[in-house]
């Protein structure tokens, strides 16, 4: 460790600038620092750092909103701190102290209701530039469960590494990372089959692909046994050796785990009560006259203090001694040269206020490449998720057969025209409910992965959204076709190519509109709320479809409802496909009365005009595009709102 910091201090301080043009005081290493353990060995491609980053934060406050008219709550109170490069830093504190909030702010994930300044290498942070050289690994492992370790890595490499890097180099990097993280033996195991520790390591491996200079990890040891915990922390420690700054939150580390960290930052109710090296924690406690009892783990003791077990005055005294994080007295002497290099600038300087919503240029590869890789991943997932794929095919075939048996031959029987009308509406209901509910139930699960990958700059939201739109088309078309063929033939609809094509087009459009509607709900609400809202919001669509209460019978002040009901256009279009286009008289058994043997009379009675098919298709297409755009806007809003 010593070597890293001393060597880093010899770095040329002059001609450095960030990508945004912000002049650094220094920090960019011209040649990578070679540590003694690496000398004479072939260097890993991914471990060579272009620069080191020193993080300083001043007067950070965060106020959470408690909801409409419920006021606010201050979580972080004017805290300060310094995280030099090449250090493994633990943010410790009792539950609710504000550890995750601080990590969210430092990583740039949380941007609203935050005040104070974050500096990188002595100058106010440019968030866009900072995000390009950092990553944030959140507490829950957000992995693609159906992809193997190596597939997950391959996708990450294809999205995060620039196009100049060829396949061989990518594979070399992947193999090196997998080996370093002892994941090489599980390369062919699906992520769903990995142990907790392996999943955690895979989460780290995925973000290591593009060699970040700063890594933030929220509780990387949660849920791991003690041996996996120390394995994970030792690995992080190794990663700091080249000059990375690694910051993680941790609840209450054991004594052995605690001493693996270089530096510790202790929070109590949003205030800093200690900042310095792990070794200096005991002297600090002695200095503030609250010495750690013999044979007591200092980490446990400081957490007990932070939990107010020794009274709130003790916390106040310690916050005062640590100057709420301003004091650097208890840092290890080794880091002094690095600390001196970026002496705190003018504390009143504001952090660069670039457009925080601007995501352009953050990704490493072109939009086309992002779409290609995301479609590849989507294809593998669909292929692997056989239960869902077969279930979708099976449900369409079975429901088709059931309805076909129930309405056997109704399409060609003058006595059953009203039954057939019921069937046509049931077909639309099937398409609407099955597609919408599937999207509402599956999309929220994808959201957490999307939030992580999008924040870590794997892809743009536009390309993700486009891939989600495209990837489902083939399976939706196949399901709809199977259903349509079965139902069309079993229920004896007119065997004319044109009519079947029209019937299929309307079915497909209703499927896609319902899917967009589900996407809109799924983008904003969780599964429980979405499951309630989806069907509830569909009721007005059914009411205004013109089925039951015909369009002629709708009160004038409610007629607007029929314009926004996509089922109205679906029903009109599908009825036109079966009974429009001057369909001749329908067969009527001699001994029976057929009220609707003339299709025109039927169309008149149900208030459906013939020849509206084209208009209905246009109306459904407009609804489809409108809902897709609204769903995209809501998704974008959701991604910003969580920050
Ligand atoms: N959006 C919010 N609305 C209300 N309270 C919030 C919000 N975000 C955070 N808090 C509160 O802020 C405090 C700090 O939360 P944070 O998640 O940062 O704590 P933590 O130290 O990471 O806790 P843990 O170790 O249990 O994860 C908690 O009391 C939490 O309830």
Predicted confidence (pLDDT) per residue in 611-631, tens digit: 889 999 999 999 999 999 999
* Cα–Cα distance for residue pair 316/268, rounded to 1 Å: 10
Residue in 75, 76, 270 to alter for ligand 1 test, most ligand atoms within 8 A of Cβ: 75
For residue 115, the 8-state DSSP code is: E
Asked whether 73 lines ligand 1 (CB < 6 A), one says yes
- The rounded Å distance from CA 275 to ligand 1 centre is 21
Q: Whose CA is nearest to atom 31 of ligand 1?
A: 96
Span 322-327, average pLDDT:
91
Span 198-224, average pLDDT:
88
ipTM score here?
Answer: 0.95
Specify the pLDDT at position 230.
83
Atom of ligand 1 nearest to the CA of 251: 25
Residue in 60, 61, 63, 64 to alter for ligand 1 test, most ligand atoms within 8 A of Cβ: 64
- The rounded Å distance from CA 98 to ligand 1 centre is 6
Asked whether 106 lines ligand 1 (CB < 6 A), one says no
Residue in 60, 68, 76, 99 to alter for ligand 1 test, most ligand atoms within 8 A of Cβ: 99
- The rounded Å distance from CA 299 to ligand 1 centre is 21
Atom of ligand 1 nearest to the CA of 101: 18
- Torsion sign across C-alpha atoms 180, 182, 185, 188: negative
Atom of ligand 1 nearest to the CA of 249: 22
β-pairing verdict for 245-250 and 214-217: parallel
Asked whether 116 lines ligand 1 (CB < 6 A), one says no
Q: Return left, alpha or beta for 567; rule: phi > 0 is left, psi -120 to 50 is alpha, else beta.
A: alpha
pLDDT at 27 over 90: no
Asked whether 467 lines ligand 1 (CB < 6 A), one says no
Annotate 261-322 with DSSP letters as a single string.
Answer: -SEEEEEETTEEEEEEESTTHHHHHHHTT-PPPTT--HHHHHHHHHTTTT-HHHHHHHHHHT
Asked whether 101 lines ligand 1 (CB < 6 A), one says yes
Asked whether 533 lines ligand 1 (CB < 6 A), one says no
* Model confidence, pTM: 0.81
pLDDT at 158 over 80: yes
* Cα–Cα distance for residue pair 491/510, rounded to 1 Å: 20
φ/ψ of residue 194, rounded to 5: -85, 155
Asked whether 93 lines ligand 1 (CB < 6 A), one says yes
Asked whether 97 lines ligand 1 (CB < 6 A), one says yes
Specify the pLDDT at position 103.
94
* Cα–Cα distance for residue pair 183/201, rounded to 1 Å: 8
User: Which range has highest mean pLDDT (147-161, 293-307, 536-550)?
Assistant: 147-161
Asked whether 98 lines ligand 1 (CB < 6 A), one says yes
Count the alpha carbons within 13 Å of 115 in the hemisphere toward its beta carbon: 9
Annotate 484-501 with DSSP letters as a single string.
Answer: HHHHHHHTT----HHHHH
Span 5-9, average pLDDT:
32
**Three-state SS string across 222-252, please?**
CCCCHHHHHHHHHHHHHHHCCCCEEEEEECC
- The rounded Å distance from CA 313 to ligand 1 centre is 23
- The rounded Å distance from CA 522 to ligand 1 centre is 25
For residue 325, the 8-state DSSP code is: G
- The rounded Å distance from CA 75 to ligand 1 centre is 7
Specify the pLDDT at position 448.
84
Q: Whose CA is nearest to atom 12 of ligand 1?
A: 75
Specify the pLDDT at position 20.
33
- The rounded Å distance from CA 95 to ligand 1 centre is 8
pLDDT at 16 over 50: no
Annotate 16-75 with DSSP letters as a single string.
Answer: -B-TTSPBPSS-B-SSPPPPGGGTTSPPPSTT--SB---EEEEEEEEEEE-STTS-EEEE
Atom of ligand 1 nearest to the CA of 65: 3
Asked whether 221 lines ligand 1 (CB < 6 A), one says no
- The rounded Å distance from CA 251 to ligand 1 centre is 13
Asked whether 64 lines ligand 1 (CB < 6 A), one says yes
Asked whether 248 lines ligand 1 (CB < 6 A), one says no
Average pLDDT score over the chain: 85
Specify the pLDDT at position 353.
52
Least confident of 88-97, 192-201, 339-348, 468-477: 339-348
Specify the pLDDT at position 47.
60
Q: Whose CA is nearest to atom 18 of ligand 1?
A: 98
Asked whether 75 lines ligand 1 (CB < 6 A), one says yes
- The rounded Å distance from CA 309 to ligand 1 centre is 20
Atom of ligand 1 nearest to the CA of 102: 18
What does the longest C-alpha to C-alpha distance in the chain come to? 107
- The rounded Å distance from CA 102 to ligand 1 centre is 10
Which tokens hold the place of 160? Answer: 């995060």
* Cα–Cα distance for residue pair 315/508, rounded to 1 Å: 65
pLDDT at 32 over 60: no
Least confident of 110-114, 370-374, 397-401: 110-114
Specify the pLDDT at position 222.
79
At 419, is the pLDDT very low, low, confident or very high (cuts 50, 70, 90)? Answer: very high
- The rounded Å distance from CA 14 to ligand 1 centre is 41
Asked whether 99 lines ligand 1 (CB < 6 A), one says yes
| Contact (CB, 8 A) for 88 and 261 | yes
More confident of the two residues 371 and 342:
371
Asked whether 140 lines ligand 1 (CB < 6 A), one says no
Q: Is 290 exposed, middle or buried (0-12, 13-18, 19+ CB in 10 A)?
A: middle
pLDDT at 273 over 60: yes
Domain with CATH 3.40.50.300 in the chain: 2-133+212-341
Question: What CATH number does the domain located at 2-133+212-341 have?
Answer: 3.40.50.300
Percentages (nearest 5) of helix, strand, coil residues in the chain: 55, 10, 35
Asked whether 100 lines ligand 1 (CB < 6 A), one says yes
β-pairing verdict for 55-65 and 114-120: antiparallel
| Residues 473-524 pLDDT 10s | 999 999 999 999 999 999 999 999 999 999 999 999 999 999 999 999 998 8
pLDDT at 149 over 80: yes
- The rounded Å distance from CA 314 to ligand 1 centre is 23
Span 335-354, average pLDDT:
59
At 396, is the pLDDT very low, low, confident or very high (cuts 50, 70, 90)? Answer: very high
Specify the pLDDT at position 344.
52
Asked whether 112 lines ligand 1 (CB < 6 A), one says no
Specify the pLDDT at position 573.
95
- The rounded Å distance from CA 327 to ligand 1 centre is 25
pLDDT at 28 over 80: no
Atom of ligand 1 nearest to the CA of 104: 18
| Residues 535-594 pLDDT 10s | 999 988 888 888 877 777 788 888 888 888 999 999 999 999 999 988 999 888 888 888
- The rounded Å distance from CA 406 to ligand 1 centre is 56
- The rounded Å distance from CA 155 to ligand 1 centre is 33
Closest-CA residue to 522 (of 472, 567, 483): 472
């Amino acid at each position: 460790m010593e070597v890293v910091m001393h060597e880093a201090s010899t770095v040329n301080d002059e001609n450095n600038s960030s990508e945004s043009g912000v002049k650094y005081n220094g920090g960019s290493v011209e040649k990578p620092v070679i540590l003694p353990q690496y000398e004479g060995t072939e260097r890993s491609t991914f471990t060579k750092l272009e620069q080191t980053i020193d993080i300083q934060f001043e007067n950070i406050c965060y106020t959470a909103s408690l909801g409409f008219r419920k006021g606010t709550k201050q979580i972080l109170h004017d805290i300060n701190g310094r995280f030099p490069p090449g250090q493994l830093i633990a943010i410790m504190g009792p539950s609710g102290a504000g550890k995750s909030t601080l990590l969210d702010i430092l990583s740039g994930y949380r941007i609203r209701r935050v005040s104070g300044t974050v500096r990188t290498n002595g100058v106010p942070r440019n968030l866009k530039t900072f995000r390009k050289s950092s990553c944030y690994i959140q507490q829950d492992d957000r992995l693609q469960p159906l992809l193997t370790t190596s597939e997950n890595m391959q996708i990450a490499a294809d999205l995060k590494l620039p196009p100049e890097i060829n396949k061989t180099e990518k594979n070399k990097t992947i193999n090196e990372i997998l080996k370093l993280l002892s994941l090489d033996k599980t390369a062919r195991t699906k992520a769903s089959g990995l142990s907790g520790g392996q999943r955690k390591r895979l989460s780290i491996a995925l973000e290591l692909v593009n060699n970040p200079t700063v890594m933030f990890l929220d509780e990387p040891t949660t849920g791991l046994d003690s041996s996996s915990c120390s394995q994970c922390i030792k690995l992080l420690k190794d990663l700091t050796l080249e000059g990375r700054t690694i910051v993680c939150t941790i609840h209450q580390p054991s004594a052995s785990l605690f001493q693996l960290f270089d530096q510790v930052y202790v929070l109590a109710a949003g205030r800093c009560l200690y900042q310095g090296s792990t070794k200096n924690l005991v002297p600090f406690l002695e200095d503030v006259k609250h010495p750690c009892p013999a044979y007591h783990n200092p980490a446990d003791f400081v957490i007990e203090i932070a939990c107010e077990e020794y009274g709130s005055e003790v916390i106040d005294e310690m916050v005062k001694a640590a100057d709420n994080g301003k004091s650097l007295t208890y840092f290890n002497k080794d880091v002094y040269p690095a600390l001196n290099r970026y002496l705190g600038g003018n504390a009143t300087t504001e952090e660069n206020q670039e457009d925080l919503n601007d995501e352009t240029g953050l990704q490493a590869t072109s939009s086309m490449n992002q779409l290609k890789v995301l479609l590849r991943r989507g294809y593998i997932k669909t292929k692997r998720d056989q239960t869902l794929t077969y279930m979708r095919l099976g449900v369409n075939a079975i429901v088709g057969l059931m309805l076909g048996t129930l309405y056997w031959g109704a399409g060609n029987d003058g006595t059953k025209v009203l039954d057939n009308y019921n069937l046509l509406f049931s077909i639309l209901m099937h398409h609407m409910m099955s597609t919408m509910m599937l999207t509402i139930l599956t999309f929220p699960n994808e959201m957490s992965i999307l939030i992580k990958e999008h924040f870590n700059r794997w892809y743009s939201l536009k390309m993700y959204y486009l891939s989600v739109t495209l990837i489902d088309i083939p399976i939706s078309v196949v399901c709809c076709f199977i259903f349509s063929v079965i139902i069309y033939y079993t229920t004896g609809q007119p065997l004319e190519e044109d009519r079947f094509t029209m019937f299929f087009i309307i079915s497909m459009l209703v499927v896609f509109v319902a899917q967009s509607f589900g996407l809109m709900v799924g983008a904003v609400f969780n599964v429980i709320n979405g499951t309630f809202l989806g069907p509830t919001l569909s009721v007005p669509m059914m009411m205004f479809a013109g089925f039951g209460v015909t369009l002629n019978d709708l009160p004038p002040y409610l007629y607007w409802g029929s314009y926004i009901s996509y089922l109205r256009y679906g029903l009109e279009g599908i009825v036109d496909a079966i009974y429009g286009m001057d369909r001749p008289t329908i067969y009527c058994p001699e001994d029976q009365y057929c009220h609707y043997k003339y299709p025109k009379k039927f169309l008149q009675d149900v208030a459906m005009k013939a020849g509206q098919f084209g208009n209905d298709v246009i109306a459904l297409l407009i609804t489809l595009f409108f809902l897709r755009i609204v769903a995209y806007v809501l998704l974008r809003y959701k991604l910003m709102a969580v920050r």
